[in-house]
Amino acid sequence: MDTSKARQLVEAIARTVIAHAEELTQLDQAIGDGDHGVNMKRGFEAVLADLDKLAEGNVATLLTGVGRTLVMKVGGASGPLYGTLFMQLGKSWPAELSARSFHATCRAAVEAVAVRGKSQRGQKTMLDVLLPVCDELAKETHRAALRAYAATCAQATVPLEATRGRASFLKERSIGHLDPGARSAQLMIEAVCDSLGAL
Amino acid sequence: MNVGIVIVSHSPDVAKGAADMVRQMVGQGIPLAWTGGNPEGGLGTSVEGILSAIDEAWSDAGVAILVDLGGAETNSEMAIEMLEPGRQGKVVICNAPVVEGAVMAATEAWGGSDLATVKRTAEELNHDQD
């Protein structure tokens, strides 16, 4: 993967998230503080604005730079969380990309998010998408199947009771709602799967 | 030099109000800074804002941060990690209610206590309720 391809993927992620900002905000209004969409939009607009500069180096520096921009610009817990995801992807980016090394890189990144959020799977968060999808990468699943799996994982947060994040304040009233973080994680994975098909 | 205090709330009004209460107690006796709100002035917290607040309240004796809800804590932890290595170990987040914790921590800091003592004093508020 060269920087220009990675840049296209980042751009696809940014445009997808921005296009769904309203939906993410509505999901967050139901069980959170209602700022997930607007926060993510702000962060990814900043990424798009800085993309020329961010893409001046290699894939690793691009991803790290995207992470730093999200950390500084999102303004909400999702900033440090998604920022950590991209920063760790950049930090762990392999010298030689293979299915195996890509899985290891994603694993490191998703685990860094879990540490940052002091969270784990099953708490109705973005990790309920990121962790299982990352596991699925080890099986070298085709991107169409991976895309569908991400959607299944996000939907599986609906019956969960939130035990982490603002939604946990609602206790059992958080049941029956799609988690906004799981949805944004799903959207990013979909954007990557779709773009890989087009590259 | 006294420990500095940083107040981080999702609401700029809460952060400023808590800082006013601290000043009423300790005057100009400690370095103090507050931050709150997202980059557009809405509710939220930002790493950028927290980093500059830490800078503003910097003391070689260290800085104690008081936070309100989850995102304030996550953003504060991120901000600490982004500090230069020499400063990282001198900044702590207190697990305490933001307003009461800030006033308690500041009063302790004003007396010249070290960072660990300031943090412990703020966190004693939690045990009072046990």
pLDDT tens digits, one per residue of A109-130:
999 999 999 999 999 999 999 9
Q: Which residues of A touch B77 (CB under 8 A)?
A: 80, 116
pLDDT digits (tens, 9 = 90+) for A55-82: 999 999 999 999 999 999 998 899 999 9
Q: B45 and A75: CB-CB below 8 Å? A: yes
> Quick one: average pLDDT of B2-9?
98
pLDDT of residue A8: 97
Is residue A1 very low, low, confident or very high in pLDDT (cuts 50, 70, 90)? confident
pLDDT of B128 above 70: no
- Per CATH, the architecture of B4-128 is what? 3-Layer(aba) Sandwich (3.40)
Which whole number is the average pLDDT over A81-93?
Answer: 98
Global model pTM greater than 0.90: yes
Does residue B7 sit in helix, strand or coil? strand
Give me the mean pLDDT over the B17-42 stretch. Answer: 93
pLDDT at residue B54 greater than cutoff 70: yes
Distance CA A125, CA A114 (A): 10
Residues of A in contact with B48 (CB under 8 A): 72-73
Residues 20-39 (A) with a CB less than 8 A from some CB of B: 33, 35, 38-39
Instruction: Specify whether the CB–CB gap between B53 and B35 falls below 8 A.
Output: yes
B46-55: average pLDDT: 96
d(CA B103, CA B129): 17
pLDDT over 60 at B130, yes or no: no
- Here the ipTM equals 0.85
Instruction: Give residue B70's pLDDT.
Output: 86
Domains and CATH numbers, chain A: 3-198 (1.25.40.340)
Region A148-166 average pLDDT = 96
For A183-196, give one letter per residue: b (16+ CB within 10 A) or e.
Answer: bbbbbbbbbbbbbb
Q: Is the Cβ–Cβ distance between A113 and A81 less than 8 Å?
A: yes
Per-residue pLDDT, averaged over A171-190, amounts to 97
Q: Is B127 a catalytic residue?
A: no
pLDDT reported for residue A199 = 64
Q: For a pLDDT cut of 90, what percent of chain B falls above it? A: 90
The tokens of B22 are what?
């601290």
Residues 6+ apart with CB under 8 A from B33: B4, B5, B6, B7, B19, B52, B53, B54, B56, B57
Active-site annotation holder among B10, B75, B101, B108: B10
Mean pLDDT of chain A: 95
- Using CB atoms, pick whichever of B38, B39, B75 lies closest to residue A80: B75
Which residues of chain B have a CB within 8 Å of the CB of A165? 70
B128 burial via Cβ count (<10 Å: 0-12, 13-18, 19+):
exposed
Q: Which residue has the tokens 């994975």?
A: A189
Quick one: average pLDDT of A172-178?
A: 95
Average pLDDT score over residue span A77-106: 96
State yes or no: pLDDT of B42 exceeds 90: no
Work out the pLDDT band at B129, boundaries 50, 70, 90: low
Q: Domain residues of chain B, as ranges?
A: 4-128
